[in-house]
Amino acid sequence: MATVVIGYVPKPEGDAALLAGIEEARRRDARLVVVHALLDHDRAPSYLTEVETALGESGLEHDLRVVERTDDASDDLVDVAEEVDADLIVIGLRRRSPVGKLILGSNAQRVLLDAPCPVLTVKPRTGRH
């Protein structure tokens, strides 16, 4: 069975990655593995309940992996993708200013360079159509 790995952060870009990852898993008839590095010492942040609900409602086979935050969250994501033999990694990117567009976020860049499979990057939707 194919596997889609999602890098989740509790921000609009993380929500965009979660939604896009669910869509991709449906298209591929794949299971989902969502990876989240804890942002603080809270072992059960409330936003993870919302993630679990979205995963449950998707009807897809899934696994939510909450890992201790290390110096490089991109390494954690790539390590899980390698472990589960991922077919796709989905990550969210935040919108940037014109100057910021010259530099891709370091975590996103490392995932793109080190990933063992294709990477889908998504941005949060805005009010514009």
**Tens-digit pLDDT string for the chain (129 aa):** 899 999 999 999 999 999 999 999 999 999 999 999 886 666 668 889 999 999 999 999 999 998 877 667 888 899 999 999 999 999 998 875 554 544 456 788 889 899 999 999 999 987 554
The tokens 């995932």 sit on which residue?
Answer: 111
* Residues 6+ away with beta carbon under 8 Å from 87: 2, 3, 4, 28, 30, 117, 118
By three-state DSSP, how is residue 95 classified? coil
pTM to 2 decimal places? 0.87
User: Phi-psi region for residue 59, left (φ > 0), alpha (ψ -120 to 50) or beta?
Assistant: left
**Domains of the chain by range and CATH?**
3-122 (3.40.50.620)
